[in-house]
Amino acid sequence: MANFSGGFGTRIYFIPDTADAQSSQILKGSGYVTINLKGAHYRSEGNLWQKLFGGSDNVVLSTQVTRTSGTSSLSIVSIEDTRQIRTNQPYYFDSGRQIALNIPADADSIGIAVTISAVMNDNLSAALGILNSGELKGTLELAPPAVSSALAIATVVKKLLSNTNPQNSLQGEYAGRLSTAASGDPIRDFCLAQGTIVMLYRESADDTSLDNLDPAKLSTDGDGLKYAGAAVENTYTMFQVSFEELRGEDASAEWYGIFSTADQALNELTPASSDADQQRIWASAYATYQQAAKLLASDPSYTVDEAQGIAAARLKSLEGRFGSLLGQTVKAESAPDGYLSRLVRAKVALAGPLRA
């Protein structure tokens, strides 16, 4: 990352969760990404009038998260906070909110953008209540209802911001690239990694406090940023990027309920059931299972690997219960060699409809 050496503007730094950035890199298809707005701080010297007579800025903090996969992309814009802040006084915005939740890393990138703007439109005060509403804080999720809601929020936010004549202060973007191959320097290559992404702003070329800044001396203290143990006074934002290999089954998903229905279809089975009844009951349960598995396979909020793993585990459970109700041990066909070896610790049986 480029460091400050004169001039002004925004620079990006990274504080890894592990010993180094390289071991913190998130590889494509490896799991799920969650991004939190960890902290944001604003301080401005103000214009000449404000320096002479004092004053304040109407300041808006907005974020954007964009998931790109091939030629398609989904972008969510949110207004995180808006406040009237006195010039030359530090202000810490509300923080800790998730701006992206459990996003599958099987995309080309999950990018972050942020803007802290001093809004000049005199009509802003009438809109402050709306701008600070929780309804205008969207979280990027890929479940269809969540996507529809977030897109509607993004449309309103973009319109509000364009009508308030914003004068950008801090403005930064991080590409958040996802690759199947490890990078020798993930941050230089703008790869997504576990840790804290810091976007630091210098307002004036006269400010030399950030010249030759050593990124290794940056640290976080709650929602605040420190350099060499002292609080950073410049305007900045911090984003915490975290990662989970698995997200588990979503009990609110449609496919989850259908898997349960497949299991319930076996309830009428007893050891005294005839062969014909056994086959009829199994065929009904398996057909319901297939419906759930198809829905799960098309659920955009799951990685391909975990969706296949859940479906295989559900089938094994269904077969096991079928045999248990009959007082038998069901031997299923073996799963393909290496199937789910990374995500499921034990080999999972994968079979078609049981045969007589």
Indicate if the alpha-carbon torsion angle 114, 117, 123, 125 is positive or negative.
positive
Per-residue model confidence as pLDDT tens digits over 293-338: 999 999 999 999 999 999 999 999 998 898 888 876 554 433 333 3
> How many Å apart are CA 356 and CA 348, to the nearest integer?
22
Q: What sign results for the dihedral spanned by CA atoms 66, 67, 70, 71?
A: negative
Q: What is the pLDDT of residue 338?
A: 33
Q: pLDDT by residue (tens digit) across 194-240? A: 999 999 998 776 777 777 888 889 999 989 999 999 999 889 999 99
Give the pLDDT of the chain (356 residues) as one tens digit per residue.
Answer: 555 444 468 889 999 887 777 889 999 999 999 999 999 998 876 665 556 566 777 788 888 899 999 888 888 877 778 788 777 778 898 778 888 989 999 999 999 999 887 766 555 544 545 555 555 566 666 555 444 454 455 455 555 555 444 455 788 899 999 999 999 888 889 999 999 999 999 877 677 777 788 888 999 998 999 999 999 988 999 999 999 999 999 999 999 999 999 999 999 888 878 888 888 999 999 999 999 999 999 999 999 999 999 999 999 999 889 888 887 655 443 333 332 333 333 323 333 445 43
Instruction: Record the pTM.
Output: 0.77
